[in-house]
């Protein structure tokens, strides 16, 4: 998919507004959960699942205080993930798994080794 | 022993005195060693003082300089290195109890480069455990206890290059190596009233240095002046095939840079939306600093960073990559030996991220990187405060703090410019620009396009040619 096509589609869909709405929803869900409400959302379900997995793996190492702290960490992680997950991306947008400092067209090439003297 | 006035001189001036034989490398080294051993413990500044190595290197430098052989700007100049950099024959603790006995049988690339340049290692600087790689809540999160700010020991140095900041600030060494994954050079430099530079990503080899987040870690200089940062960087920068992300040779850093043509006025974008809240005193100092530059011909105009989840992407990237880099510590349960309550368990949570989470984060990162890069079509540097405030009080150890009062990422949430520039691999430099009403230093920060390390040094040098803040040092020292 070309960049220009992607840009057009992005323009129709505001990252900022959608992101804010989604984050607000996620945070509200987390807050409700922590207040003891019975409401279940995909976000709280994910937090629950991740907490359960931690306890399955490491439960015997963790005190009650550490479990509480971990739940708060998972909730904060979920808030951050919500902002990332709701950011509008096109299929071909690549990851910076290895950070490139320059746009592809300007990416420097490795220096060529000096020619050997014969 | 040499006088304090000499020990607070910048590297360039110390080098000039050495070449003129005003004093010798051995005299200089012995003076810094004596000062480090006498005053260092007051700040918890060092993990290890490498006295034998320092004197051996000083005697060698003395013989060479006496014979007229000069290796360069750092020849005979002492320094300290953050204790996450491997030095053969000495412990490398990563600032953390689980690694208190760790040693390596090789030197990191930066150490090899500094050895070749004739620099003199006098000690390994204290740091936040794992450089904050598994999270931390306050300055007590260190193998050597809280690092104290030389301007006022009730206050923190910031982290994670805490000892490097304290050592330079207190005149225990003229410069130090720090590391910066997200603000760990810029913050302690700003709070300790010194100059500190985070080079472009890949500029300095990290081979032999502890990894937190491979796509964000950098090593860089902390010194008295921007010029000193340039001198140090000229020695430690360069392509290293042992570092996967090392910049190629055709992007080498040379200092000073050759002038490409007539000098043009510096174009400065004053960032107006990067902190949630800035101390008004600090903002006044930053604005006064930019006004000073403007009076000397710089073009200054307000600019906003484009909207985006920079902080979230930076934080998530670190959490996710650290879960991998410290996997052994997490799986073995030895993370329980960390000092910080958050650090003891945070890795368990970070392990729960999915591969999809990581890739989504890195895809967003690419777009954020592009939109930030466009700003530099209009500006040579962006400018803002080094941090949002002067140094903060050292807080009580976590175990004595009620859990409800602890907020896991409180220390990191105010680092918006650090998040942006670290995430995008941009060079940044902070220089002292004034003091708070409590006589704590303020920092003025410059950020440039990736690869344009010269621009932040040029901005810092220009500012320091017009001001005297960098010549101040803690009054009790």
Whether residue A45 has pLDDT greater than 70 = yes
Q: For B214-230, what is the mean pLDDT?
A: 97
Taking CA A54 as the corner, what is the angle to CA A53 and CA A60, rounded to the nearest 5 degrees? 120
Q: What are phi and psi of B31, to 5 degrees?
A: -65, -45
Whether residue B145 has pLDDT greater than 50 = yes
Reference A95, options B443, B206, B364, B357; nearest CA is: B364
Inspect the interface and report whether the beta carbons of B366 and A62 lie closer than 8 Å: no
Q: Where is average pLDDT lowest: A26-35, B261-270, B338-347?
A: A26-35
- Given the residues B24, B82, B164, B179, select the one marked as catalytic: B82
Q: Which tokens sit at B65?
A: 């300089």
Whole-angstrom Cα distance, residue B83 to residue B94?
Answer: 6
More confident residue, B262 or A18: B262
Query: Is residue B255 exposed (0-12), middle (13-18) or buried (19+ Cβ within 10 Å)?
Result: middle
Residue from B367, B377, B399, B427 whose CB has the most chain A CBs within 10 Å, to mutate:
B367
CA A84 to chain B, closest CA, distance in angstroms equals 6
Whether residue A20 has pLDDT greater than 80 = no
**Residues B15-30: tens digit of each pLDDT:** 999 999 999 999 999 9
pLDDT bucket at B254, cuts 50 / 70 / 90? confident
Tokens 């949002």 sit at which residue?
B388
**What is the reported pLDDT for B298?**
96
Whether residue A92 has pLDDT greater than 70 = yes
Reference B149, options B419, B366, B354, B438; nearest CA is: B438
Inspect the interface and report whether the beta carbons of A95 and B313 lie closer than 8 Å: no
Reference B107, options B73, B57, B72; nearest CA is: B57
Whole-angstrom Cα distance, residue B236 to residue B322?
Answer: 25
Whole-angstrom Cα distance, residue A71 to residue A61?
Answer: 15
B437 Cβ neighbours under 8 A, 6+ residues apart = B281
**What is the reported pLDDT for B407?**
40
ipTM over 0.95: no
Whole-angstrom Cα distance, residue B361 to residue B316?
Answer: 7
**Residues B306-350: tens digit of each pLDDT:** 989 999 999 999 999 999 999 999 999 999 999 999 999 999 999
The strand pairing partners of B270, in sequence order, are: B302, B383
Inspect the interface and report whether the beta carbons of B425 and A74 lie closer than 8 Å: no
B294 touches chain A (CB under 8 A): no
Inspect the interface and report whether the beta carbons of B365 and A89 lie closer than 8 Å: no
Whole-angstrom Cα distance, residue A63 to residue B434?
Answer: 46
What is the torsional sign of CA B70, B73, B79, B82? negative
Q: For B263-270, what is the mean pLDDT?
A: 92
Measured in whole angstroms, the distance separating CA B172 from the mean position of its chain's CA atoms is: 16
Q: Where is average pLDDT lowest: A49-58, B55-64, B403-412?
A: B403-412
Measured in whole angstroms, the distance separating CA A61 from the mean position of its chain's CA atoms is: 28
| Residue B344: CA count within 13 A, CB half-sphere | 16
pLDDT bucket at A98, cuts 50 / 70 / 90? low
Strand order in the sheet with B218-223: B46-49, B120-125, B78-82, B175-180, B218-223, B195-198, B428-435, B441-447, B381-385, B267-271, B299-303
More confident residue, B297 or A10: B297
Alpha-helical regions (H) of B304-412: 310-325, 327-332, 341-350, 355-375
Residue B184 is among the residues annotated as catalytic for this protein: yes
Q: For B366-380, what is the mean pLDDT?
A: 95
Reference B62, options B79, B49, B77; nearest CA is: B77
Question: Taking each helix axis from N to C terminus, what angle separates B355-375 and B310-325, rounded to the nearest 10 degrees?
Answer: 130
B244 touches chain A (CB under 8 A): yes
pLDDT bucket at A112, cuts 50 / 70 / 90? very low
B339-398 residues touching A, CB cutoff 8 A = 341-342, 344-346, 348-353, 357, 359-367, 369-370, 373
CB pairs under 8 A between A and B: 128
DSSP notation for B264-300 = PPPEEEEE-SS-S---HHHHHHHHHHHHHHHHTT-EE
Strands B428-435 and B299-303, sheet pairing: unpaired
| Residue A74: CA count within 13 A, CB half-sphere | 28
Mean of all residue pLDDT scores within chain B: 93
Query: Is residue B477 exposed (0-12), middle (13-18) or buried (19+ Cβ within 10 Å)?
Result: middle
SS3 B229: helix
| Residue B235: CA count within 13 A, CB half-sphere | 24
Q: For B364-383, what is the mean pLDDT?
A: 96
């Amino acid at each position: 998919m070309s960049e220009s096509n992607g840009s057009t589609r992005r323009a129709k869909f505001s990252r900022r507004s959608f992101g804010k709405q989604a984050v607000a929803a996620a945070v509200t869900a987390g807050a409700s959960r922590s207040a003891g409400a019975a409401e279940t959302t995909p976000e709280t379900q994910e937090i629950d699942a991740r907490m359960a997995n931690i306890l399955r793996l490491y439960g015997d190492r963790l005190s009650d205080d550490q479990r509480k702290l971990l739940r708060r960490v998972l909730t904060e992680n979920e808030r951050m993930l919500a902002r990332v997950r709701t950011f509008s991306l096109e299929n071909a947008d690549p990851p910076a798994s290895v950070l490139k400092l320059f746009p592809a067209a300007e990416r420097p090439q490795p220096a060529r080794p000096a020619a050997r003297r014969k | 022993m040499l006088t304090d006035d000499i020990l607070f001189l910048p590297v360039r001036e110390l080098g000039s005195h050495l070449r003129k034989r005003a004093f010798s490398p051995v005299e200089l080294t012995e003076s810094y060693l004596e000062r480090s051993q006498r005053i260092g413990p007051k700040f918890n500044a060092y993990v290890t003082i490498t006295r034998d190595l320092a004197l051996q290197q000083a005697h060698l430098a003395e013989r060479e300089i006496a014979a007229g052989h000069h290796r360069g700007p750092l020849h005979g100049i002492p320094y300290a290195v953050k204790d996450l950099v491997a030095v053969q024959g000495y412990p490398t603790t990563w600032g953390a109890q689980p690694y208190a006995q760790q040693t390596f049988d090789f030197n990191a690339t930066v150490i090899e480069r500094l050895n070749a340049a004739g620099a003199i290692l006098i000690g390994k600087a204290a740091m936040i455990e794992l450089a904050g790689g598994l999270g931390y809540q306050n300055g007590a999160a260190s193998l050597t206890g809280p690092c104290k700010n030389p301007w006022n020991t009730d206050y923190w140095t910031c982290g994670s290059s805490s000892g490097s900041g304290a050592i330079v600030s207190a005149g225990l060494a003229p410069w130090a190596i720090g590391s910066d994954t997200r603000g760990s050079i810029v913050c302690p430099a700003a709070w300790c009233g010194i100059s500190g530079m985070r080079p472009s990503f890949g500029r300095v080899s990290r081979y032999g240095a502890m990894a937190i987040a491979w796509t964000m870690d950098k090593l860089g200089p902390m010194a008295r002046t921007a010029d000193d940062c340039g001198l140090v960087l000229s020695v430690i920068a360069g392509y290293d095939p042992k570092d996967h992300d090392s910049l190629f040779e055709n992007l080498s850093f040379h200092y000073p840079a050759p002038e490409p043509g007539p000098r043009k006025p510096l174009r400065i974008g004053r960032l107006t939306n990067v902190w949630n809240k800035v101390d008004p005193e600090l903002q006044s100092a930053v604005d006064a600093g930019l006004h000073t530059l403007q009076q000397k011909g710089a073009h200054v105009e307000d600019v906003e960073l484009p909207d985006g989840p920079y902080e979230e992407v930076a934080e998530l990237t670190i959490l996710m990559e650290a879960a991998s880099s410290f996997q052994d510590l997490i799986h073995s349960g030895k993370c329980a030996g960390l000092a910080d309550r958050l650090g003891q368990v945070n890795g368990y949570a970070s392990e729960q991220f999915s591969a999809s989470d990581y890739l989504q984060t890195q895809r967003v990162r690419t777009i954020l990187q592009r939109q930030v890069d466009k700003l530099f079509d209009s500006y040579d540097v962006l400018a803002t405060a080094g941090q949002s405030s002067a140094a903060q009080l050292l807080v009580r150890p976590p175990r004595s703090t009620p859990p409800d009062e602890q907020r896991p990422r409180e220390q990191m949430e105010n680092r918006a410019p650090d998040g942006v520039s670290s995430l995008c691999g941009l060079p940044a430099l902070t220089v002292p620009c004034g003091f708070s009403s409590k006589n704590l230093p303020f920092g003025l920060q410059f950020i440039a396009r990736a690869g344009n390390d010269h621009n932040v040094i040029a901005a810092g040098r220009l500012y320091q040619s017009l001001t005297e803040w960098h010549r101040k040092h803690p009054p009790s020292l």
